[in-house]
């Protein structure tokens, strides 16, 4: 699965365009809804834990406004999962470079 293009409010993955925040897992792409709009809590990650990823990439939006709480960071680190938190432009590149090397999940905020 490859991220082909990201623009503010839109992302194209394997030829399919999405206009809502997404989670990319080894099983596919899913819309991503969170408890709070610009905050990420451990309970927002239920969809990815079953895949036992080596790496979780958070795309924090075009301007990087989405915030990953300290509880969320600690939750993933305690499970032995590496996390990268970057603006979504950079998350696209990081995801595409990493998918052939390890099991990756990406959680991408598409707007601010």
For 66, residues 6+ apart whose C-beta sits below 8 A from its C-beta are: 38, 39, 40, 58, 59, 60, 109, 112
The pLDDT assigned to 81 comes to: 97
Domains plus CATH for the chain?
3-108 (3.40.1230.10)
CA distances from 11 to 36, 70, 72, 92, 111 (A): 21, 27, 25, 9, 10
CA distances from 2 to 15, 39, 56, 102 (A): 9, 26, 15, 14
Question: What is the C-alpha end-to-end distance of the chain, expressed in Å?
Answer: 24
Q: Which helix (H) or strand (E) holds 25?
A: strand 22-25
pTM for the full predicted model: 0.96
Of the chain, the percentage scoring pLDDT greater than 90 comes to: 95
Better pLDDT: 96 or 46: 96
**Could you tell me the pLDDT band of residue 14, with boundaries at 50, 70 and 90?**
very high
Looking at every residue in the chain, the average pLDDT score rounds to 96
* pLDDT tens profile 46-55: 889 999 999 9
CB 29 within 8 A of CB 1: yes
């Amino acid at each position: 699965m490859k991220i082909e293009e990201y623009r503010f409010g839109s992302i194209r993955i394997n030829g399919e365009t999405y206009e809502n925040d997404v989670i990319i897992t080894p099983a596919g792409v899913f819309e991503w809804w969170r408890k709070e709009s610009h905050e990420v809590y451990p309970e927002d990650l239920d969809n990815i834990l079953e895949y036992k990823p080596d790496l979780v990439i958070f795309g924090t939006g075009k301007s990087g406004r989405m915030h990953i709480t300290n509880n969320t960071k600690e939750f993933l680190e305690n499970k032995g999962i590496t996390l990268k938190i970057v603006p979504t432009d950079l998350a696209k590149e990081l995801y595409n470079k990493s998918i052939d090397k390890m099991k990756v999940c990406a959680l991408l905020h598409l707007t601010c």
